[in-house]
Amino acid sequence: MAVAMRTRLGLVLLLGALLAALCAPAAAQQAGKIPKIGVLATSSFFMARFSAFRDGLRDLGHVEGKTVVFEYRYADGKLERLPDLAAELVRAKVDLIFTASGEAVLAAKKATRTIPIVFGAVQDPLAN
């Protein structure tokens, strides 16, 4: 139980940092602009992890479609699709890319140098 609570606390802290990163350039954004988060998923297994992220945002008062928008891209287990999906998120002008696999982090890193990438449980995000 204590591990679950520490994990939940860590997730909430990560979400707070994420939201701070999204709000930092607020002066340069249009008034009332809703942040758009790109979600790059390798498989449906990732979505179970992502639901905790989305729940944490909701706990902080952010509601999908009202105060935050998600652009979802799924590779359906076909890792070769990740570069094209990451490029789609860049073209969609997301404010941030969220993922949780090393392959997806690398694809996002190759697709952009300007959009922040948030990830978890990745062994070596700077590889390649």
- pLDDT tens per residue, the chain (128 residues)? 444 544 554 554 455 555 555 554 444 445 578 999 999 988 877 777 778 778 888 899 988 899 999 999 999 889 999 999 999 999 999 999 998 788 888 999 999 999 999 887 656 555 55
pLDDT, residue 16, reads 52
CATH assignment at residue 87: 3.40.50.2300
- Domain assignment present for 86: yes
Decide if 82 is inside a domain: yes
| Beta-carbon contacts of residue 120 (< 8 Å; ≥ 6 apart) | 14, 49, 100
Taking Cα atoms as reference points, which of 80, 91, 82 lies closest to residue 36?
A: 91
Query: Is residue 75 in some structural domain?
Result: yes
Residue 59 lies in a domain: yes
Q: Is residue 127 part of a domain?
A: no
| pTM attached to this predicted model | 0.71
The domain total for the chain is: 1
Residue 68 lies in a domain: yes
